[in-house]
Chains A and B, each alone.
Chain A
Amino acid sequence: MSKKKNSIWTFFASVKLALFVLFILAIASIIGTVIPQNSPVDVYVKQYGENMARLFQILDIPDMYNSWWFTTMLFLLALNLTVCTIERLPSVWRMVVLDNLKTDLGRLSKMQPNKQLITSKLPEEAAVQVRAGLHDKGWKSTEAARDGGILLFAQKAPWTRLGVYIVHTSILVIFAGAMIGSYFGYKGSVMIPETRSTDTIYEFGTRNPIKLGFEVFCNRFTLSHYPNGAPKEFRSDLVIVDDGGKEVARKSIIVNDPLSYKGHTFYQSSYQSYEKFLITLVNNETKNKELFLIEPGKQVQWDAEKVAFGIINRGMTDTPGKFTYKIWFSGGDTSEPFWIIEGDTTVINESGKAYTFSMKEFYATGLQVTKDPGVWCVYIGCGLMLFGLMIAFFFSHRRVWVYISRENDQTSVRVTGNTNKNKPAFDKNFETVSHTIEEKLT
């Protein structure tokens, strides 16, 4: 290996640096939770004074999680992890694939835990017993002749030594995903009034328009309430029109259940009301249908059917925030006004004809639109992290050696072993194994 172990390399491979970076990241992250982020400049001037506000601008405090220095810290963490991994992984890998039958016999007697058994059986006979004993406790052994004796070796889960590196790699994978997202994705929003469509959304922060390359149509937005008036559900019926005017996707979205099309995802986020109403009128006989957008207090004409109507008045209902409206409707005769609750449908008989009258408030739906081609990468990283943590925490590489040799007309059976973590649990484990072997030998 030609890797230079110069001091810069060692610096970036050190766990001391990792501790330092983690500590600084933790401290620095606090700043952005205390000082409001992404507010206009004058807010900072008012709250902290001219000079502080200028300092904040220099240090990018108002957008600190995207600032050069915070990004540098994250980059440092990634670099530290990478160098540390390159530094250590080869030796860990060697431990995983190590031929433990070549272990230095001198080391075996020094290893802890350690137990020496003496038997009058011949080594070959004893080996059979030892093998059976190990087998009984779930250890599959291999063996080799060493220095006139027999060395048996068994291990469990050597690959779990890699768990930590899975965790470390997962962090790099998450970073990679986040970078893909920030370079190739965007986050924006758009308001689409009901019955209208758009092919452009606006990026957060900059408000730059972004062309979607297709059209999103908002058929309808419905707002429903709990009995106490609290909002229960925002629902937008969306249609995507692409390929020269064809409907290619349709979905009724709610918060927590977005619509995705060609990498763009539309999330229900807010709504806006306009004090206007959508009225759908159907002549029940001819099925003649028309949609109107009206304001209270103004008369509207349906020329084809020769009817006129308008909203006169508003009244309360039992549900706070939900209203009932008084409607005036005329098709020649002037009949009594009627009441209808917003969102309802009713049938009216007017001058010998029946009409279906539906009324709902007119809204614009507020959609958050994002394109993040890095999400899958972040999710894979998250999965890897949990998997790696479980391996790193709950599994250990455990090894047991048994060396059988002839010493002064007796056979010595030395049982020893070690683990890379959780020694107390291993010690117990070792105790039962060596005990089983002892029983077999007698």
Chain B
Amino acid sequence: MTSSQLFGISTLGYLLASALYIATLLFKTKKSGVVASILTLLTFLVQTVGIGLRWYESYEMGMGHAPLSNMYESLVFFSWSIVIFYLLLELKFHNRIFGAFAIPFAFFSMAYASFAKGINQEISPLIPALQSNWLIVHVVTCFIGYAAFAVACGLGFMYLLKSASSDTSETGVISSLPKLSVLDDVIHKTMIFGFLWLSAGIITGAIWANSAWGTYWSWDPKETWSLITWFIYAATLHARFTRGWQGKRIAWLAIIGFVSVIFTYFGVNFLLSGLHSYGSS
């Protein structure tokens, strides 16, 4: 077994799990939900082993480093973070419906990593600037934040779907979604969690930059976009906390915030240039 094979299996696993979660939502079949959860958990374990194996393989190849060094590896880790975040959410809120809006993100991330053009799947050696333990801390903190924001975005869609629907019957698809007030609360908590980790991500990035270049902040496009994202979520928290924004507006902001995350993650690499361009290969 190689790590790429395990990642292939993971991609397939998340695809099936997504389908099962969506089926659970549509047909309200309890059993498919249980199967979806089990499948997600198993796939998650396979993926975890895959990440560990890739780490090991890099040592075998004589350049040992944590598998967090390029776009491919970060996408795999992004997907992994979404799933662990989602599984904890499922455990805490005892609700499988969220899965239909979260696990597809994990699948897309894996599928994009595997099939998109221009994404190098090779294990490649670390250039000197990336040889730092801060790399691991920085990437992990950022991606936990991103994962939370992805889930918040999914929940935002769920909220808008539910609130836009006039379907109040007891049997419709929409009625199986959690109550709006519950969704609103979970979106808020998820964003708060993401904000904390994003802050930590920006800070660890700054510390790393300072140890590598002697400047903790240089307004490079990636840094700037992460700050823009941070401003958006900070504004969202204030709008809610001090101006009482709730419901639809917050759901929209969860989506807008995630668009900014995605741009920070991909857009900057593909459309703009800067120090962080390592991610583009």
Contacts and interface: CB of A to CB of B under 8 A. Distances in A.
Nearest to B220: A33
B169 interface: no
Interface in A1-32: 15-16, 18-19, 22-23, 25-26, 29-30, 32
Contacts, number: 111
Given A19-B239, A226-B125, A385-B199, A372 B214 contact: yes
Contacts of A19: 235, 238-239, 243
Contact of B213 (A257, A267, A393): A267
A22 B234 contact: yes
Contact of B235 (A23, A34, A268, A382): A23
A49 interface: no
A258 B243 contact: no
B15 interface: no
Interface string B197-214: 001100100111011111
The contact size tier of chain B is 35 or more
Interface SS of B by simple majority: helix
B145 to A, nearest CB: 12
Interface stretch (A150-158, A229-237, A326-334, A335-343): A229-237
Most buried by B among A37, A254, A369: A37
Contacts of A15: 238, 242-243
B235 A256 contact: no
A230 B224 contact: no
A386 B199 contact: yes
Contacts of A370: 214-215
B238 A368 contact: no
Interface residues of A, number: 48
A369 B219 CA distance: 19
Contact of A378 (B216, B238, B243): B216
B119 interface: no
B228 interface: yes
Interface string B248-269: 0000000000000000000010
B124 A29 contact: no
B128 interface: yes
A30 B264 CA distance: 11
A100 to B, nearest CB: 23
Contacts of B83: none
Interface in A378-417: 378-379, 382, 385-386, 389-390, 393
B192 A386 contact: no
A140 B125 CA distance: 58
11 contacts: A18-B235, A34-B272, A37-B219, A232-B125, A255-B129, A258-B214, A368-B214, A382-B206, A385-B203, A386-B196, A393-B193
Interface of B: 62-63, 124-125, 127-129, 131-132, 134, 185, 192-193, 195-196, 199-200, 203, 206-208, 210-217, 219, 221, 224-225, 227-228, 231-232, 234-235, 238-239, 242-243, 268, 272
Interface of A: 15-16, 18-19, 22-23, 25-26, 29-30, 32-34, 37, 65, 178, 187, 226-228, 230-234, 254-258, 265, 267-269, 368-370, 372, 375, 378-379, 382, 385-386, 389-390, 393, 424
Given A382-B203, A385-B199, 6 more contacts: A15-B242, A29-B231, A33-B221, A378-B206, A386-B199, A393-B193
